[in-house]
Structure 1
Amino acid sequence: MDHRLQWRAGRPADLDGWAALIARTAGVEQPAWFERRADLEQVLASTMNPAAANTILGIDGEGVARAYGRITKNPEGEKAIGYGAVDPGWQGTGIGTGLLGWMESVTRQRFAVDAMPGARPKLRLQAEEQHTHQAALFQAAGYRIVRYFNEMHRPLKDGVPEVVLDAALELVTFGPELHEPVRLAHNEAFQDHWGSEPRDHEAWGFVLNDPLARPDLSAVVLERATGRVAGYQLASHDAAIAGSRGYTEGYTDLLGVRREFRGRGVAQALLTDAMRRFAAAGMDQASLDVDSENPTGALALYTKMGYVAVSRSMAWDKEL
């Protein structure tokens, strides 16, 4: 690691400087999403991934955060996921390579503690296609691309499709009483999705308490006879980023349909409802991200509903 920086775990007193580091980096790299102070507060509050062992900050001589790394891992998960950033003015100095080494070391430790028979430590990183400097760093460190994801946009000025929901189902706004039923539905719906792992209450709390979350723009489809969750659409809105991009968007963070309810127009109903909610809130477009090889045919569905791919990101893996 770079000896010009003091390296230590993140702590509450670092929140403002840590968030400022990420914002500076995002201002140059223009990612689709980046962590804010409220996200980092959740990171520090995690019991599954305690910050003392799973985060690192590089602080310069004037007390300014110049780099950070962190990993998350479910106790029974097949992988750890790494996150990090290096101040634009400090990139190209070997700090990124050092952070990757730290992440790999912590990943090995986490797998050793979890003691999963036959499991090989694996670290996964995510990068957007336009960030070629990250791709070069990952490739040089022995990572390989294992999956592509498409960022898709759908202009709302084109109107909203008419979709009639099955009479045995009803669509309602997402509220507190549905937090746990939707978590359980999500874990079932994503059992057959690549890379997905069940979300416990702490991981689900990150979704519910996301500072950008908009439950008023989110909806759930219920089976009338049983009250069982058939599907859900959880949305967010980033008002601050609209100025730099020149448009406003409602973002579908999670869309899922339980297997037994697939083929009944649930996803289409949820997406058209989302479009209506976004348009009523004065937004220019609906956006989402999809696994390019999604087994449910989601990519084809989104394309049929007018979504267009505008960028790609990649998942990079390395077995340690």
Structure 2
Amino acid sequence: MTANLSARCYAGDRDLRAIADLINTCEEVDRLNEGTSISELQQEFNQPSRDLARDMCLWEDAGGKLIGFAELWISEPGEVIDGWLSFSVRPEARRGDVEAAAVAWGETRMRQVAQESGACVKLRSGIRAQDADRISVLESCGFRVDRYFCRMARSLSEPIAEPEFPEGFALRQFPGEEDSEAWVEMFNQSFIDHWNHHDLTVEKFKYDLGKPSYRKDLDLIAVAADGTYAAFCYCEINVEECDRTGRNEGWIAVLGTRRGFRKLGLGRSMLLAGLQRLKAAGVETAILGVDAANPSGALRLYESAGFHNIRDSISYVKDV
């Protein structure tokens, strides 16, 4: 199949419509809730530290029709650099060698990263546990299972308990960009001992604050008596996605407690506060994702707050 296709780099905004159409065509068949729009792709592609010329590849037929698209999310430099590979192939072109070509492209790109950085690199890809075809592709290309994740949901029509903050801690809205460094430090200290953590940068955080979906009323922090940022819960409502799917959902996008402030009940209190804010915003269902092997007991916390599992996914990895 790839003998009849030409591969090329991303050519900028003029490719956005074709990529969105490809992803949405795949969504009509796969029903993975992974549809998109041109504006959503622009927000995704324009994030800091992305090398769009080298971290995306498009495969077209002789008539210029987009058949396959692959992209890599490459982590910030460190001892280990991860490249998260995602790819879409038109349903009629699957079970050929386009998928293998996408994986081979990802491997080649990550070897370039290794040569340039001197770091150990890994190629990763996350998929839904029910996607037997994609599992077959990855395993045939030498990937192995590395981690399992759950997507959980909770109806906001059910009662939400009142948050109970420990003495000396106060719930606040995040003040804004001027406190970005303090928030990023809290985030990194909260997740530094978690699986596959890569430090968040202030640049990336500020970019997220500028997204159209960002709402200050959904960005919550717990502040200790000495002013230290101790815990956080940021919720997000993607209006475009809700309009596209017909579902009224909001995300508990990130939730964490800083090291040194754990086992005080802050995580539960922040979660409940976030749920209250989503409900006040008119959302019907709260969604979140969680590492099934999270060492902090996050899965138990979410279950105790009324969440139930709606989807399993798998993280695959390959050394390159």
Does TM, scored on the shorter chain, surpass 0.5? yes
How many Å apart are 1:79 and its aligned residue?
Answer: 2.1
C-alpha separation between the residues in 2 aligned to 1:9 and 1:134?
A: 23
Distance 1:212 1:185, change over 3 A: same
Q: Which residue of 2 aligns with 1:111?
A: 114
Match of 2:9 in 1: 9
The one-letter code of the counterpart of 2:24 is A
Between the aligned partners of 1:191 and 1:84, the Cα distance in structure 2 is 29
Percent identity of the aligned residues? Answer: 26
Q: Is the 8 A contact 1:12 1:44 kept in 2?
A: no
CA distance in 1, matches of 2:113, 2:167: 48
Could you tell me which residue of structure 2 aligns to residue 75 of structure 1? 77
Tell me the SS of whatever aligns to 2:3. Answer: coil
Contact (CA 8 Å) 1:236, 1:250: kept in 2 or not?
yes
2:257 alignment counterpart:
257
Aligned to 2:180: 179
* 1:244-272 deviations in Å (ceiling 9; x for gaps): 75541111111111011112221111111
Are the aligned partners of 2:150 and 2:309 in contact in 1 as well (CA < 8 Å)?
A: yes
Conserved? CA contact 2:58–2:68, under 8 Å: yes
Question: Could you tell me how far 1:302 is from its partner in structure 2?
Answer: 0.8
- Relative to the length of structure 1, the TM-score reads 0.90
Residue aligning to 1:23 = 24
Letter in 2 for 1:165: F
User: Could you say which residue in structure 2 is the equivalent of 1:156?
Assistant: 156
Which stretch of the first structure deviates more once superposed, 251-260 or 227-236?
227-236
Q: Which moved more, 1:87-96 or 1:305-314?
A: 87-96
Cα distance in 1, alignment partners of residues 58 and 207 from structure 2: 21
2:60 alignment partner in structure 1: 59
Other-structure match for 2:105: 102
Native 8 Å contact 1:71 1:107 kept in 2 = no
Shift of 1:301: 0.8
Question: Per the alignment, do residues 205 and 14 of structure 1 end up closer, same or farther by CA in structure 2, a change over 3 Å counting?
Answer: farther
Aligned to 2:205: 204
Give a deviation string over 1:20-51, Cα, whole Å, max 9, x none.
22222223223344554345335554563311
- 2:202 & 2:94 partners in 1: Cα distance? 37
Separation of aligned partners in 2, 1:162 and 1:34: 35
* Shift of residue 200, structure 1, vs aligned partner: 1.8
* Separation in structure 1 between the aligned mates of residue 301 and residue 307 of structure 2, nearest angstrom: 9
Query: Aligned pair count?
Result: 316
Q: Which moved more, 1:86-95 or 1:257-266?
A: 86-95
Distance 2:223 2:50 in 1: 34
Identify if the C-alpha distance between structure 1 residues 269 and 47 changes in structure 2 by more than 3 Å, giving closer, same or farther: closer
Q: Which residue of 2 aligns with 1:238?
A: 238
Larger deviation, residues 18-27 vs 244-253: 244-253
Q: Residue 102 of structure 2 aligns to which amino acid in structure 1?
A: L
Distance change >3 Å, CA 4–CA 43, structure 1 → 2: farther
How big is each residue's C-alpha offset from its partner over 1:116-162, in whole Å with a ceiling of 9 and x where there is no partner?
2xx3x310100011211111111111111110001111111111012
- Counterpart amino acid of 2:146? V
Compared with structure 1, are the counterparts of its residues 204 and 299 closer, same or farther at alpha carbon in structure 2 (3 Å cutoff)?
same
Q: 1:108 to 1:52 in 2, by over 3 A?
A: same
Distance in 1 (CA, whole Å) between partners of 2:26 and 2:174 is 34
Q: Distance in 2 between matches of 1:130 and 1:210?
A: 32
**Equivalent position amino acid for 2:82 in 1:** K
Whether the 8 Å CA contact 1:44–1:50 is kept in 2: the answer is no
Report the Cα distance in structure 1 between the residues aligned to 2:207 and 2:314, rounded to whole angstroms.
22
- Provide the C-alpha distance between the structure 2 equivalents of 1:244 and 1:46, rounded to a whole number of angstroms: 23
Q: Which runs of 5+ in 2 are unaligned?
A: none
Stretch moving more, 11-20 or 96-105 = 11-20
Distance 1:47 1:246 in 2: 31
Q: What one-letter code is carried by the residue in structure 2 that aligns with 1:83? A: S
Distance 1:239 1:9, change over 3 A: same
